[in-house]
Each structure stands twice: as C-alpha cells, then as structure tokens.
Amino acid sequence: MALDENMVIPRHVALILDGNGRWAKKRGLPRTMGHKEGCVTVEKTVEIAARMGIEYLTVYGFSTENWKRPMEEVGALMQLFRYYMVRLLKVASANNVRVKMIGDRTRFAQDIIDGIGRLESETRDNTGLTFIIAVNYGGRDEIRRAAARLAADCAQGKRNPEEITEEVFASYLDTAGIPDPDLLIRTSGELRLSNYLLWQLAYTEIYVTDCLWPDFDREELERAIVQYNKRDRRYGGVK
C-alpha cells in the first residue's frame, strides 16, 4: 500500500505494542522471544516513521502495572531494555532521531537509569523525529505526580491556584512541550487504553488492528494513516 501524496501525515502517532506474548505462543516460543522480536519491530518502526515525516512517535514500552508479571519475565524485559538502549542509540544517530523517556524511572536499576540519561543527552540535538518511550509509565500515575508537583508549587507561592488552566497543568506532565497524539494505534485487537496517556488522548483518533505487534510493518502503519485521513476531527464542535 502506498499513501496518496495528498494524505495528511499525523504529526504525532502513539502506539500500544500489544501481542508479543501471543505472537510467541503461536510459534511455540517462550514469551521473552516475542518481546525480543517486538523490540526489532520498534527499531524498524522508528526508521519508517522518521522517513514518512511523522514528527513524534510515542510507544508504550513498560507500564506501571507490568511489574505484576512473573519475576522471570520482568527480569528478561529489563535485560532486553539494556540491550536495545544501546541499539536504539545507533538507530537514533543514523536517522537524526531525538529520544525522550517518560514515566517514573526511579524504580529501575541504576545502570538502566544511566542508560536512559545517555540516550536522551546524546540525541538531544537531533532535529528529526522525536521518539518517546513510556517506561514504568501509567497515565494515572503521571497525573498524580503532576498534581503533586503543582500542589507543592502552589504551597510555596510559585503558582496561584486560581490561575491554573489546562495548559498550566499540562506543563507539569511528563509530555510537557509535546503536542497531544493525533493518532493512537493499538495492535492485537484489544479495545482499551490500558492506562496510557489518559490526559493526552482526549481527542486522539483511535485505530485498532488485529495484527500482533511483532508483525507490524509499514503497510500496517499506512493502513492506519489512511483510516486517520477518513476521520472528521471536530474536537467537540461542529463544522
């Protein structure tokens, strides 16, 4: 599938990467192999999105709820994260991509925290796609943390509660300075937000595909963009 030259490319695409475990199970493989293949798909998608002219790509890498998974799986995910942070630095450098992490990184091991810092600092001056990875992230937790920082600023007299607007509150979120997603793509056919970008997705167009994440490719992304172009975005108003 090739996009029509008149198609509007969404400025910001958010992804929920679902189906790694099911992809592995269908092939008689351990779940960790599904996650590994899913990381490869992330790399490819970053390159594709950068070439298509998408300005912001946000992926749900690891949620605050994922810690509830079996210890063995969580440990394997942390090892994958360590490995692919190094890989991602090469991909980002080759494609002029700026990397940003959102979520509460304090729960990770120090070497992972240091790796995140290196990814962000070494890609800060890149001017192409901004690739945002949500790690140890939950939409409710993000709003809670933002509210706590805002409340502290109000208590210290830095903010006047009567002057708090949606824009002011948004400036305390992890995504401060980043436009809200235009398009959310969720793979594997699940019909829920899974505590993802709850504030930011207020008027985002949602596209769900039965494709499992490791099988996601350029054609699937193009299908989503075609559907996005068929939507009538009114933001609560009328035309």
Whether the per-residue pLDDT at 239 is higher than 80: the answer is no
Which residues are the active-site residues? Answer: 18, 66
- The answer to whether the CB of 185 falls within 8 A of the CB of 16 is yes
Rounded to an integer, the average pLDDT of 68-96 is 91
Domain of 118, CATH number, reads: 3.40.1180.10
Sign of CA dihedral 31, 43, 172, 181: negative
- The answer to whether the CB of 26 falls within 8 A of the CB of 188 is no
Whether the per-residue pLDDT at 3 is higher than 90: the answer is no
Whether the per-residue pLDDT at 2 is higher than 70: the answer is no
Distances (CA, A) of 52 to 107, 169, 218: 35, 32, 10
Q: What is the mean pLDDT of the chain?
A: 94
Q: What is the pLDDT of residue 7?
A: 92
Residue 45 lies in a domain: yes
Residue 237 lies in a domain: no
Q: Write the pLDDT tens digit of every residue in 27-53.
A: 999 998 999 999 999 999 999 999 999
Rounded to an integer, the average pLDDT of 89-98 is 93
Residue 97 lies in a domain: yes
Q: For residue 171, name the pLDDT band (cuts at 50, 70, 90).
A: very high
Looking at the 3D structure of the chain, how many domains does it have? 1
Q: What is the pLDDT of residue 238?
A: 67
Sign of CA dihedral 163, 11, 234, 147: negative
Distances (CA, A) of 15 to 20, 186, 194, 219: 14, 6, 12, 15
Q: What is the pLDDT of residue 33?
A: 93
Q: Is the pTM of this model over 0.85?
A: yes
Q: In which domain, by residue range, is 216 found?
A: 12-138+180-229
The SS3 of residue 128 is coil
